[in-house]
Amino acid sequence: MQVKVDKLDIAGQSWKEFTLSNTQGMEVSLLNYGGIITKIMTPNKNNEFENVILSYANYEDYLDNPNFFGALIGRVAGRIEASSFQLDGKTYNLPSNEGEHHLHGGSVGFHKVLWQADTFEEAESVGVTLTHRSQDGEAGYPGNLVMKVTYTLTNENAFSITYEAVADQKTVLTPTNHSYFNLSGNLKTDILQHDITMEASRFVELDHELIPTGKILPVEGTVFDFRRGHAIIDGVHSVDQQNLVALNGYDHYFLFDHNKKENVVVTEQTSGRKLTVQTDQPGIVMYTSNGLDDTLELREGKSAKYLGVCLETQSSPASLEHEDFPSIILEKDAPYKTTTSFTFSTK
């Protein structure tokens, strides 16, 4: 197991790309800029290693990165309605970057930070720990926040992300990672035939601007019911109003039942690849890249609608407006810690 480090000069900035590799041949590459994951190389059923995430052909494109490819998201993943929230009677105004709303930490969120990076190599794992001191008022959020994110790869082909933080005053926090997975390998096909199994009996209703209405709906009898597994394409062809507001697909928060150790399982039949997601987070946003077009130059070709699926484990920013949603409030001096792991195998 080892960590390889490459130095990059991007628009006058000194970036580093770290490549984690294990004894099975799996590799994960990531940048200290934005904590962006640029490549995940995993084997198919014939033991052929291919990239299973969307990434830019030119690293300069990560400077803008409006689709958040591979990025570390924060302080708050998801949409904050009208770019403001109240905490203990005080209103905090945030920069708007999606209409009048604040999305994924804003235009200067964690995905635009040049993180301090420290590597480690152990007997059964290797990784990188990223650290950022987010100042009080950064992107409008209250409190000085010390954020630490650790990426770890094991010999069992498990790639985990651990988020740790502490703030010197009450604030809000729910970071995530925004990688777009495509298990076909090297973007050979779209993700419409990817099969999803998810332990979630409820999901959050969205309005036409993708803002939660406050209603939590049962999945029973809808194409949002993944408890026994089905293909993503079922939601694309659906006439359910919730699929239509998401531009014919999914961009919804699912609340986990936590009945099983495996929260989400994704499989792709042709490659034989299987991705298992395990997390201690209360839910996940599954986004099926409904808003992607064909204008971006990716590592293996042009971008396209339905080319990747994001699996964003997190709490819910809707909790700032509505009751009965998983809270994103972090109390002063309270330790924050959560881990999500992505384990790759073949059927």
Cα separation, 302 vs 206, in Å, equals 30
Other C-beta atoms lying within 10 Å of the C-beta of residue 79? 23
Cα separation, 45 vs 273, in Å, equals 7
Answer yes or no: 312 catalytic: yes
Cα separation, 243 vs 249, in Å, equals 5
Q: Which of 54, 82, 57 is nearest to 70 (CA)?
A: 54
Answer yes or no: 205 catalytic: no
Cα separation, 330 vs 320, in Å, equals 12
18 to each of 27, 30, 177, how far by Cα in Å?
10, 5, 17
Among the listed residues 178, 194, 252, 268, the single catalytic one is 178
- Neighbouring residues of 123: CB distance < 8 A, sequence distance ≥ 6: 1
Q: How far is it between the farthest Cα atoms of the chain?
A: 59
Cα separation, 52 vs 190, in Å, equals 12
Catalytic annotation, residues = 178, 312
